[in-house]
A and B are shown apart, each in its own frame.
Chain A
Amino acid sequence: MTHKRNRFPRVIISDAVVFDWVLLIGFVVLAVFAVNYNARARSIPMALGILGTVMVSFQLIVDMFPPLRRKLGFVVESGLMADQKEESPTETDNVNSAEAGNYGGNHGKGRTEAIQEWVKILRLIIWIAAFIVLLGVTHYLIAVGLFVVLVTRIEAGESWIRSIVLAVSVNIGFFILFNLILNAQL
Chain B
Amino acid sequence: MLESMWVGLQLVISWKVMGLMIVATFIGNFFGAVPGLGGNLALALMIPFVFGMETFPGLAFLLAMHSVVHTGGSIPGILFAIPGTGPTVATIIDGYEMTKKGQAGQAMGAQLAASAFGGVVGALVLALFIPILRPIAMTFGSAEVFMLIVFGMTFIVVISRESIPKGFVAAFMGLLLSTVGLGAHTGIGRYTFGQLWLWDGINIVTIVLGIFAFAEILSLGAKGRKAKIAQVNIEMTWAQLWEGTLAVFKEWWLSVRTAIIGCFIGIIPGLGGDAATWICYGHAVQTSKNNENFGKGDIRGVIGVETANNSKEGGSLLPTLVFGIPGSSGMAILLGAFLILGIVPGPTMITDHLDMVWGMVWVMVIANLIGAVTLYPLSRYMGMLAFIRSSLLIPCIMVLASVGAYLIRGFWQDVILALAFGLLGYGFKRWKYPRAPLILGFILGELAEDYLHKSLGVYGFAFLKRPVVLILLAMVILSLGFTIYKSYQDKKKARGAVA
B151 within 8 Å of A (CB atoms): no
Q: How far is the CA of A77 from the CA of B162 in the complex (A)?
A: 8
A111 interface hit (Cβ, 8 Å): no
When chains A and B are docked, how far (Å) is the Cα of A28 from the Cα of B52?
A: 38
Contact B221 A135, beta carbon cutoff 8 Å = no
- Chain A's nearest CB lies how many Å from the CB of B89? 4
- For B294, what are the chain A residues with a Cβ–Cβ distance below 8 Å? none
Segment at the A interface, from B123-131, B223-231, B312-320, B464-472:
B223-231
Residues of B within 8 A of A98 (CB): 223-226
List residues 63-105 of chain B with CB under 8 A from any CB of chain A.
82-83, 85-87, 89-90
Tell me the bound Cα distance from A131 to B11 in angstroms. Answer: 39
- Chain A residues with CB under 8 Å of B61's CB are 182
Q: Report the count of interface residues on B (CB-CB < 8 A).
A: 99
In the complex with contacts A48-B176, A91-B216, A121-B484 CB distance below 8 A: no
Kindly identify which residue among A16, A78, A93, A97 contacts B162, using a CB–CB cutoff of 8 Å: A78
Contact of A96 among B53, B173, B222, B226 (CB under 8 A): B226
Interface of A (DSSP majority class) = helix
> Residue B426 at the A interface, CB < 8 A?
yes
A183 contacts the other chain (CB 8 A)? yes
A161 within 8 A of B: no
Taking A45-B179, A79-B167, A81-B159 as contacts, is the C-beta distance between A52 and B419 under 8 angstroms?
A: no
Q: Does the CB pair A59–B172 fall under 8 Å?
A: no
Give CA–CA (A102, B224) in the complex, Å. 7
Interface membership of chain A positions 66-93, coded 1 if the CB is closer than 8 angstroms to chain B and 0 otherwise: 0000000111111111101101111111
Least CB distance from A171 to B in Å reads 10
Q: How far apart sit A20 and B433, CA to CA, in the bound complex (Å)?
A: 10
A131 touches B402 (CB 8 A): yes
Chain A residues, Cβ within 8 Å of B227 = 95-97
Residues of B within 8 A of A45 (CB): 176, 179, 190-191
With an 8 A cutoff between CB atoms, is A178 at the interface?
yes
Among B162, B191, B216, B221: residue with most chain A CB under 10 A: B221
Contact B36 A52 (CB under 8 A): no
In the assembled complex, B203 has its CB within 8 A of some CB on chain A: no
What is the bound-complex CA distance between A55 and B172, given in angstroms? 9
A91 to B17, CA, bound (A): 29
Measured in the bound complex, the distance between the Cα atoms of B89 and A90 in whole Å is 9
CB B452 to nearest CB in A, in angstroms, measures 8
Q: Give the residue among A90, A144, A177 with the most B Cβ atoms within 10 A.
A: A90
Within the complex, which residue of B160, B224, B398 is in contact with A147, where a contact is CB–CB below 8 Å?
B398
- A79-B160 contact given A95-B36, A95-B225, CB 8 Å threshold: yes
Enumerate chain A residues within 8 angstroms of B389, measured Cβ to Cβ. 99, 102, 156
Contacts of A75 in B (CB 8 A): 163, 165
Give the residue name and chain of the A residue nearest to B156 (CB): A79
Please name all residues of chain A whose beta carbon is closer than 8 Å to the beta carbon of B390 when the two chains form the complex: 95, 99, 102-103
* Complex Cα–Cα for A88 and B403 (A): 30
For the complex, is A172 an interface residue (Cβ under 8 Å from B)? no
User: Which A residues touch B86, using CB under 8 A?
Assistant: 87-90, 94
- B161 in contact with A157 (CB, 8 Å): no
Answer whether residue B379 sits at the interface, using C-beta atoms and an 8 A cutoff. no
Task: Tell me how far the C-beta of A48 lies from the nearest C-beta in chain B, rounded to whole angstroms.
Answer: 5
Q: B173, B219, B221: which contacts A91 (Cβ < 8 A)?
A: B219
Contact A80 B165, beta carbon cutoff 8 Å: no
Instruction: Flag the segment in B270-278, B303-311, B348-356 that touches A.
Output: B270-278
Distance A46 CA – B275 CA, assembled complex (angstroms): 36
How far does the alpha carbon of A55 sit from the alpha carbon of B169 in the complex, in Å?
A: 6
Residue of A nearest to B428 (CB): A19
A150-175 with Cβ < 8 A to chain B: 151-152, 155-158, 166, 170, 174
Residue pair A77, B483 in contact (C-beta under 8 Å): yes
Contact B190 A41 (CB under 8 A): yes
User: Contacts A102-B224, A184-B49: A19 and B399 contacting too (C-beta < 8 A)?
Assistant: no
* Interface assignment of B362: CB less than 8 Å from any CB of chain A: no
A19 near B412: Cβ-Cβ < 8 Å = no
Q: Please indicate the chain A residues that have their CB under 8 angstroms from the CB of B221 in the complex.
A: 103, 120-121, 124
Alpha-carbon separation in the docked complex, A131 to B271 (Å): 38
Q: Is B463 an interface residue (CB 8 A)?
A: no
Is B175 among interface residues, defined by CB-CB distance under 8 A? yes
Question: What CA separation (Å) do A170 and B389 show in the bound complex?
Answer: 15
Complex contacts, A58 vs chain B, CB 8 Å: 165
Offer 28 A-B interface pairs, CB within 8 angstroms, sorted by A: A44-B175, A48-B175, A59-B166, A73-B490, A77-B490, A79-B164, A80-B159, A80-B483, A81-B275, A85-B90, A85-B274, A85-B278, A87-B89, A87-B274, A91-B36, A91-B37, A96-B82, A103-B220, A103-B394, A121-B222, A124-B218, A125-B218, A147-B398, A156-B394, A158-B391, A177-B23, A178-B49, A184-B52
Extra inter-chain contacts (6) besides given A156-B394, A184-B407, CB under 8 Å: A91-B37, A94-B86, A131-B398, A132-B402, A170-B399, A183-B53
Closest 9 CB pairs of A and B: A156-B391, A90-B86, A41-B186, A99-B224, A102-B391, A52-B172, A79-B160, A104-B224, A95-B225
